[in-house]
């Protein structure tokens, strides 16, 4: 019989599922940001030469995640552009859940899921496994490469943020969406979003845009709309975007 899991239950059973893997582990999650304990457990499986497969959607890993995956030569990664499902399984148990394999989700979101063992419900487990194997078949296997952190870009980003923070006008400035900032600056919305992402002022999680601590400090405010969360920014930031 399947067991219902809340957020804490999903995190606990996921960690146990990884630990209990005897041969093959499949992790399916659109977005990746590994919690330290998850990394430790995966490294232990890797050392023991277990078959570890990871399917994800967003090929924009943070440098730390990318470099860690590159170091785990035995972990095979695949991209699936249509992936939205989150599922984790070994050859004895499976979890189907709303939770990404993402530290933020595990620590901040309200999630739920279903835990299934092959012993208790073989038919349901086999259906889950069959779909996981289908996703493996249609996904494109890739090799994650090591990325370098550009210190010059980081220093320039910090300089820009400092200039914005010192500005006396942003607190009284009109708040604009990135689309409105795009129209104001003459840049595409994609380039404006990239500017904020590169400066580590906001990031994308699923279909939502989330502001970082630095982003909030310079006036970024999260709003909710028809298509999810977005961030509005002081109009005067446009001067820095086009510098």
DSSP code string of 101-132: EEHHHHHHS--EEEEEETTT-HHHHHHHHHHH
Q: pLDDT per residue over 68-101, tens digit each?
A: 887 787 889 999 989 999 999 999 999 999 999 9
Token readout for 233 is 């920014």
pLDDT at res. 243: 64
Given the DSSP bridges, would you call strands 93-97 and 112-117 parallel, antiparallel or unpaired?
A: antiparallel
- Give a yes or no: residue 66 inside a domain: yes
pLDDT at res. 50: 92
Q: pLDDT per residue over 25-38, tens digit each?
A: 999 999 888 888 89
Tell me, yes or no, whether 57 and 128 share the same domain. yes
- Supply the DSSP symbol for 62: -
Examine the fold and report which residue of 98, 114, 142 is the final residue of a domain before the chain moves on.
142
pLDDT at res. 156: 58
Neighbouring-strand partners of residue 140: 79
Tell me, yes or no, whether 41 and 122 share the same domain. yes
- Give a yes or no: residue 186 inside a domain: yes
- Give a yes or no: residue 122 inside a domain: yes
Q: How many domains does the chain have?
A: 2
Instruction: Print the domain residue range for 175.
Output: 157-241
Low-confidence ranges of the chain (pLDDT < 70): 59-60, 104-106, 143-172, 206, 243
pLDDT at res. 198: 81
């Amino acid at each position: 019989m399947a067991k219902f899991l809340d957020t804490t239950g999903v995190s606990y059973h996921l960690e146990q599922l990884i630990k209990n893997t005897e041969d093959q582990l499949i992790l399916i999650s659109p977005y990746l940001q590994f919690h330290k304990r998850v990394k430790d457990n995966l490294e232990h499986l890797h050392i023991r030469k277990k078959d570890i497969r990871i399917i994800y959607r967003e090929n924009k890993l943070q440098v730390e995640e990318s470099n860690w995956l590159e170091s785990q030569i035995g972990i095979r990664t695949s991209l699936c552009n249509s992936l939205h499902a989150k599922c984790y399984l070994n050859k004895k148990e499976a979890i189907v859940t709303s939770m990404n394999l993402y530290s933020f989700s595990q620590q901040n979101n309200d999630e739920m899921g279903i835990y299934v063992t092959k012993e208790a419900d073989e038919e349901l487990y086999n259906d889950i496994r069959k779909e996981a194997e289908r996703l493996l078949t249609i996904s494109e296997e890739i090799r994650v490469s090591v990325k370098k952190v550009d210190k010059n870009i980081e220093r320039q980003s910090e300089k820009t943020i400092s200039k914005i923070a010192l500005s006396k006008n942003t607190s009284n400035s009109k708040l604009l969406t990135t689309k409105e900032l795009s129209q104001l600056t003459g840049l595409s919305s994609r380039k404006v979003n990239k500017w904020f992402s590169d400066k580590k002022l906001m990031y994308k999680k699923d279909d939502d845009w989330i502001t970082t601590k630095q982003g909030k400090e310079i006036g970024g405010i999260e709003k909710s709309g028809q298509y999810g969360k977005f961030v509005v920014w002081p109009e005067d930031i446009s001067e820095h975007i086009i510098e």
